[in-house]
């Protein structure tokens, strides 16, 4: 049944895919077939009509027009010339209407076929609708004028229904065709847009895959549930290093991932993908992948991917191979550490003997002054060596206890008094009573010693150094202000960088290695605090650090202790 229907309504023929000739024939066929049915009906039910000359001529013309549709090379003629056919169709219809007028009624309605064709052709839209209506009018009026009967008002108005109907049909078809054409235009425009978007996205995809295979960084994208969306070649290689021996694939929880120099297995919940699934973003997280000797050190970073509404739809993880860098940093630290140890032992002995000698009776003033110089310089040297050692070894775990920041500050100021006096610097402290804070007092004292000693050191013409401590908002704050040489903007932005020394400090031969402030910053930050500097050349400097009164965040202590949280920038990165 479906097949018959298909055949009847030409369902399988895609009209717009036919040639112009095919389309012209298909457009003419409905009228020709209807006329053929009419011929058959007449032959069966009213044979006398077959001898009517107008009827015969009408049938002949219809056949001739269909033949013309087949035979004329329409595509070689100017484009809408095929519209002649529907216009000429009115002639056989008019003849048929005249020939069968008394026998068959409603034959004039056959004009609907050419009218529809004209209006649906989409060519010369208004003209073709008007032409269809006028041809219908001509079809009903010409016989009135040519006939024997008198041309009366009634004779002219009586058949007007047909042209009116044809005009209405023409307009309706025209409106529907225009809307369909507009829809088609929109669909085609969308189609073109879609195609160009597809092309652009294909180009982007090719670019992305070229970049991903070119970079030497392992890249992994996972969805919200941690399933892999994308993994580049480098990541594939790195992952293979971490597979348990003899296995081809394994979930992240079973990969050989280590922390702390490759010695501690990273617990499943601290592994990069698990952290990414929890929505964490992180950077420079060091991971040791695989077993020695193939083991590699990777710096892992994770960045969330958000959709247009800001919802997390996954995470991109990048694994940068920093094995050589970490090895170089370790070698440097080892070197600094052994050199510093070697220097410290003889220095301590020099200090001890200088102290012993200074206790001897009857020392001449020259000898006292000489021993003073030995003690001062060896103190200075020991401080430098300690700074070097601190940099090389990093710090052991913080030992937070309840302490009084004001007291620590007072101790630091008291210890610096002799040096201040020697440099003509006036030292003073302003503290609001007890400032309770949970901190590692030895480390905080180290920060204060460094800031106070800098304030004195970089006030070569003498001046005032003020240490003031306050508290508020759950934080304690300490400021060390001097009226010394100060610094310009560029120096200011570098003071916390390892081994940085301002040109003035170098020119003035002020002793130092450029390590004290970097160490101080490290200590303050590991307490969960901040340190900053305000300074103007010639006007002095103010260094301010704050610490949380409740002590360092527990994660931070753990991070630098036993957990997997070693970061390249925390003590291990050169010049960081």
> Which parts of this chain interact with ligand ADP (CB under 6 A)?
450, 454-455, 458, 482, 484-487, 495, 500-502, 505, 512-518, 541
Residue closer to ligand ADP by CB (options 472, 511) is: 511
**What sign for the dihedral angle of Cα 460, 463, 469, 473?**
negative
Q: With contact defined as beta carbons under 8 Å apart, do 272 and 278 qualify? A: no
Q: With contact defined as beta carbons under 8 Å apart, do 498 and 574 qualify? A: yes
In angstroms, give the least distance from the CB of 443 to ligand ADP.
15
In angstroms, give the least distance from the CB of 478 to ligand ADP.
14
Residue closer to ligand ADP by CB (options 266, 481) is: 481
Residue closer to ligand ADP by CB (options 295, 494) is: 494
* Buried b or exposed e, range 97-113, using 16+ CB within 10 angstroms: bbbbeeebeebbbbbbb
Residue closer to ligand ADP by CB (options 133, 427) is: 427
Residue closer to ligand ADP by CB (options 42, 502) is: 502
For residue 458, give the DSSP letter: T
Residue closer to ligand ADP by CB (options 112, 487) is: 487
Quote the distance between the C-alpha of residue 571 and its chain's center.
31
In angstroms, give the least distance from the CB of 477 to ligand ADP.
17
Residue closer to ligand ADP by CB (options 222, 427) is: 427
In angstroms, give the least distance from the CB of 509 to ligand ADP.
12
SS3 for 421-445, per residue? HHCCEEEEEEECCCCEEEECHHHHH
Distance CA 140, CA 159 (A): 6
Strands (DSSP E) along 224-326, which ranges? 228-231, 257-259, 264-265, 282-289, 296-306, 312-321
In angstroms, give the least distance from the CB of 387 to ligand ADP.
7
Residue closer to ligand ADP by CB (options 471, 522) is: 522
In angstroms, give the least distance from the CB of 491 to ligand ADP.
6
Query: In 3D, which of 105, 94, 104, 110 has the Cα closest to residue 58?
Result: 94
The end-to-end CA distance of the chain, in Å, is 82
Residue closer to ligand ADP by CB (options 143, 463) is: 463
Distance CA 184, CA 15 (A): 14
Q: With contact defined as beta carbons under 8 Å apart, do 568 and 326 qualify? A: yes
In angstroms, give the least distance from the CB of 435 to ligand ADP.
22
Query: In 3D, which of 459, 453, 454 has the Cα closest to residue 425?
Result: 459
Q: With contact defined as beta carbons under 8 Å apart, do 563 and 259 qualify? A: yes
Strands (DSSP E) along 473-519, which ranges? 475-482
In angstroms, give the least distance from the CB of 349 to ligand ADP.
24
In angstroms, give the least distance from the CB of 495 to ligand ADP.
4
Q: What are phi and psi of 39, to 5 degrees?
A: -60, -45
For residue 279, give the DSSP letter: T
CA-based radius of gyration for the chain = 49
Residue closer to ligand ADP by CB (options 322, 518) is: 518
In angstroms, give the least distance from the CB of 508 to ligand ADP.
9
Residue closer to ligand ADP by CB (options 446, 564) is: 446
Query: In 3D, which of 465, 395, 475, 398 has the Cα closest to residue 435?
Result: 475
Distance CA 439, CA 476 (A): 11
Residue closer to ligand ADP by CB (options 340, 454) is: 454
In angstroms, give the least distance from the CB of 277 to ligand ADP.
41
Q: With contact defined as beta carbons under 8 Å apart, do 34 and 113 qualify? A: yes
Q: 479: how many CB neighbours lie within 10 A of its CB?
A: 18
Residue nearest to ligand ADP (CB): 512
C-alpha dihedral, 166 to 170 to 176 to 180, nearest 10°: 140
Three-state DSSP class for residue 151: coil
Q: With contact defined as beta carbons under 8 Å apart, do 475 and 546 qualify? A: yes
In angstroms, give the least distance from the CB of 505 to ligand ADP.
4
In angstroms, give the least distance from the CB of 404 to ligand ADP.
25
Residue closer to ligand ADP by CB (options 139, 451) is: 451
Query: In 3D, which of 475, 484, 569 has the Cα closest to residue 531?
Result: 475
Q: 487: how many CB neighbours lie within 10 A of its CB?
A: 25
């Amino acid at each position: 049944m479906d097949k018959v229907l298909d055949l009847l309504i030409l369902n399988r023929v895609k009209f717009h895919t036919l040639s112009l000739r095919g389309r012209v024939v298909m457009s003419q066929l409905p009228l020709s077939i209807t006329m053929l049915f009419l011929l058959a009906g007449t032959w069966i039910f009213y044979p006398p009509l077959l001898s009517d000359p107008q009827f015969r001529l009408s049938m002949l013309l219809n056949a001739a027009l269909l033949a013309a549709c087949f035979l004329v090379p329409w595509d070689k003629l100017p484009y809408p010339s095929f519209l002649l056919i529907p216009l000429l169709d009115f002639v056989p219809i008019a003849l048929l209407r005249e020939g069968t007028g008394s026998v068959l009624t409603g034959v004039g309605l056959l004009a609907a076929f050419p009218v529809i064709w004209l209006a649906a052709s989409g060519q010369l839209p208004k003209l073709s609708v008007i032409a269809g209506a006028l041809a219908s009018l001509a079809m009903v009026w010409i016989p009135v004028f040519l006939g024997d009967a008198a041309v009366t008002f009634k004779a002219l108005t009586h058949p007007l229904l047909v042209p009116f109907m044809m005009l209405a049909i023409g307009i309706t078809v025209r409106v529907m065709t225009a809307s369909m054409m507009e829809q088609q235009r929109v669909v085609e425009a969308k189609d073109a847009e879609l195609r160009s978007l597809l092309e652009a996205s294909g180009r982007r995809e090719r670019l992305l895959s070229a970049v991903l295979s070119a970079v030497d960084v392992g890249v992994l994208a996972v969805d919200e549930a941690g399933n892999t969306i994308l993994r580049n070649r480098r990541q594939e290689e790195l992952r293979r290093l971490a597979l348990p021996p003899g296995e081809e694939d394994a979930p992240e929880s079973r990969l050989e991932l280590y922390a702390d120099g490759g010695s501690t297995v990273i617990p499943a919940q601290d592994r990069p993908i698990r952290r990414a699934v929890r929505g964490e973003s992180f950077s420079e997280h060091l991971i040791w992948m695989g077993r020695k000797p193939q083991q590699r050190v990777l710096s892992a970073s994770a960045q969330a991917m958000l959709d247009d509404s800001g919802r997390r739809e996954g995470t991109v993880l990048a694994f940068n191979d920093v094995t050589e860098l970490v090895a170089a940093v370790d070698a440097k630290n080892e070197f600094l550490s052994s050199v510093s140890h070697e220097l410290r032992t003889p220095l301590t002995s020099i200090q001890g003997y200088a102290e012993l000698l200074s206790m001897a009776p009857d020392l001449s003033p020259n000898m006292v002054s000489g021993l003073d110089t030995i003690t001062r310089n060896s103190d200075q040297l020991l401080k430098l060596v300690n700074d070097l050692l601190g940099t090389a070894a990093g710090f052991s775990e913080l030992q937070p206890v309840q302490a009084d920041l004001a007291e620590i500050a007072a101790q630091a100021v008291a210890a610096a008094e002799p040096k201040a006096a020697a440099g003509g610097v006036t030292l003073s402290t302003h503290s609001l009573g007890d400032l309770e804070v949970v901190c590692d007092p030895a480390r905080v004292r180290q920060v204060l010693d460094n800031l106070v000693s800098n304030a004195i050191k970089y006030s070569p013409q003498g001046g005032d150094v003020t240490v003031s401590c306050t508290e508020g908002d759950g934080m304690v704050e300490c400021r060390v202000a001097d009226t010394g040489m100060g610094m310009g903007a560029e120096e200011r932005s570098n003071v916390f960088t390892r081994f940085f020394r301002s040109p003035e400090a170098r020119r003035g031969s002020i002793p130092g290695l450029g390590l004290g402030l970097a160490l101080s910053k490290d200590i303050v930050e590991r307490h969960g605090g901040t340190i900053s500097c305000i300074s103007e050349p010639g006007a002095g400097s103010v260094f301010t650090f704050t610490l949380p009164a409740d002590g360092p965040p527990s994660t931070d202590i753990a991070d630098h202790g036993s957990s997997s949280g070693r970061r390249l920038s925390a003590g291990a990165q050169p010049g960081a």
